[in-house]
Structure 1
Amino acid sequence: MAAGDEKTDITALLYSNRSAAAYALGKYLAAATDASLSISLRPTWAKGHFRRGEALLALGRVREAHAGYRKAAALEPHDIHVRVSCERARILAQNESMGLRVVQMLAGRDFALKPRGLHPIRAGIFRFAQGMQNFIYLIADEESRKCVVVDACWDVDGILAVIEREKLLLAAAAVTHSHFDHTGGMPPPPFASLRIRVSGVAELKRRMPHLPLLVHPLDIPDIIESNPQLQPRHFTPTPNGFSFRLGDRTDLHFMHTPGHTPGSQCVLVNGCRLFSGDTLFPGSCGRVDLKGGSLPDMLESLRTRLCAVPDNTIVYPGHEYGGEWTSIGREKKRGFLRPDAHPGCSRHNSVDVARAANSANATVAV
């Protein structure tokens, strides 16, 4: 290698590393600039394109980020990390093109953070929330700025702070099913004896009395049982096929998918984004051995309703069990939507698989 080439390689590497450092410090514009300098010196190195993609994504320049990731993936087609980042940017670019914004919040990362001061009960609840790995979502229409929060639980203050930070207007709260880690309220035994209350939809309703609570009718009684301050009149029932619009371009379609609970439901947005709650996870499905669970109902929901959803639909699950997202097509190939995934399996085996996939703590109704 000529001395000039070696010097260029070192300089390109230094710019790439400085880009990574700037990104880690939250200096995304500087990170993008350094990544571009690295690319100008060595355009055939995937690393510079990847660094530029991650910086642009943090800056909200989604389509440019996707282009950078695509270039990196073309140069390093076997790098799984690059491919996953490229696919994530592609999904975000598609969302942007349809005027949709999806904010995925994880307990302990985006909300339910360590409280300031001496709040031992709240700190304990937040630690438990982090162990449960719940995802909470904001489904927003970019034009109207209206949003629906899905499965608001654990930390209403933290969730509302994210909504304010994103400059969104809360239009409704949707609940995928009645378990307390998705609704708040009194936890199940043996924790009920502690007399604690988990912040959730009842707190939202107290602060915003006119906020619609979108819940399937079959799960309303269980939510009231753990949140006695709520009454039937506080809910907007969402039978199968119910629709809720956000602006002119964003439509939420509610699909009844029993099995995990009698009133479990998924929310299909614009026909191509599915918020699956605890019905479907990457590579697995929800537990059926808890109160109200039903293996036959779960199999029917998976085989009939979810298999009818288009293959290119992106699935956002209710917990980080196996990943942040998947797709209907992927689950038909490798997950619980495979045609051969269930026939002939015993109830015992099916329950064991669901429990192993979905239980962060086997004593808790998740």
Structure 2
Amino acid sequence: MIFEQFFEPDTSTFTYLLACEKSRQAVLIDPVECDVEKYIAALQQRGLTLVYTLETHVHADHVTAADTLRKRLGSKSVVHRDAGALCGDLLVTDGIHLQVGAVDIEVRYTPGHTNGCVSYFTGNRIFTGDALLIDGCGRTDFQQGNAGQLYDSIHHRIFSLPDDTLVYPGHDYNGHTVSTVGQEKRGNKRLGGGKSRAEFIEIMANLKLAYPKHIDVALPANQACGNLAVKQSA
């Protein structure tokens, strides 16, 4: 499998390129609008055809490149059916498998940060979006967030994987690029060390986080799969 990790520094967002070496079919997980040219250059350099853009959720901190890539490259936008983005070409549910050449990608429903969050599992890697971060997790105080639901999602759908499964998050703010399920189960400051559901809910209730600075632009745009007209009128 071909794999590349991109980082957008303004919003500390990771985007992931996965592709089949034989078919040259590719997907991008959580592409960011401002990095479209970077993605297209990488695809062209490798001789890849973009089949899908996969959203882990409707983002509040950046505008997705899904609509732009769909228009320019003919890719299909994939979002969970409860994400609030009916513009998606494929509205997926838990347990759906996407076949990209020889690469099999399983959709795992991991709500709690928002009610439409999914993680994508393939091989020994899971792409967790904002559900599970390295030494942290997504906030649960907006977009139908629910701390108890997030705790259950992470434990049932991510921590249930083998300890050596690689964890690739949607963001990192401290220079990390990858973790493992075992590392997060042991040391995650919000979830690790066997913290109970009640302890986690209390931690999340007392974070006192600032209002997301890009949400008023990003959220309506992403509910339209990153449509630029929606973004500009927001």
Interval containing the TM-score (normalised by the shorter chain): 0.7 to 0.9
Task: Name which of 160, 167, 174 aligns with 2:40.
Answer: 160
Task: Name which of 259, 284, 300 aligns with 2:136.
Answer: 284
Q: CA RMSD in A?
A: 2.3
The alpha-carbon deviation at position 342 of structure 1 amounts to 3.7
- Aligned equivalents of 1:288 and 1:354: distance in 2? 11
The alpha-carbon deviation at position 349 of structure 1 amounts to 2.5
Find the counterpart in structure 2 of residue 103 from structure 1. 4
Q: Highest CA radius of gyration, 1 or 2?
A: 1
CA contact (8 A) 1:104 1:137 kept: yes
CA contact (8 A) 2:148 2:201 kept: no
- Aligned equivalents of 1:348 and 1:337: distance in 2? 12
Task: Name which of 69, 78, 92 aligns with 1:214.
Answer: 78
Find the counterpart in structure 2 of residue 241 from structure 1. 95
Find the counterpart in structure 1 of residue 20 from structure 2. 141
The alpha-carbon deviation at position 182 of structure 1 amounts to 5.4
- Aligned equivalents of 1:327 and 1:305: distance in 2? 14
Find the counterpart in structure 2 of residue 177 from structure 1. 57
- Aligned equivalents of 1:183 and 1:172: distance in 2? 17
Higher strand proportion, which one? 2
Amino acid at match of 2:158: L
The 1:145/1:334 distance shift into structure 2, 3 A limit, reads same
Find the counterpart in structure 2 of residue 151 from structure 1. 30
Runs ≥4 residues deviating over 6 A: none
Find the counterpart in structure 2 of residue 260 from structure 1. 113
TM-score, normalised on structure 2?
Answer: 0.82
Long gaps (5+) in structure 1: 1-99, 108-129, 185-199, 225-230
The 1:354/1:207 distance shift into structure 2, 3 A limit, reads farther
Amino acid at match of 1:313: T
Task: Name which of 175, 190, 198 aligns with 1:344.
Answer: 198
The alpha-carbon deviation at position 101 of structure 1 amounts to 2.0
Find the counterpart in structure 2 of residue 331 from structure 1. 184
Long gaps (5+) in structure 2: 219-234
1:34-75 CA deviation, whole Å, 9 max, x = no partner? Answer: xxxxxxxxxxxxxxxxxxxxxxxxxxxxxxxxxxxxxxxxxx
- Residue identity over aligned pairs, in percent, reads 27
Higher helix proportion, which one? 1
Q: Secondary structure at the match of 1:345?
A: helix
- Aligned equivalents of 1:338 and 1:297: distance in 2? 16
Find the counterpart in structure 2 of residue 26 from structure 1. none
CA contact (8 A) 1:261 1:291 kept: yes
- Aligned equivalents of 1:165 and 1:267: distance in 2? 25
Aligned length, in residue pairs = 213
Amino acid at match of 1:204: L
TM-score, normalised on structure 1?
Answer: 0.54
In the alignment, does 2:167 pair up with 1:315?
Answer: yes
Q: Secondary structure at the match of 2:159?
A: helix
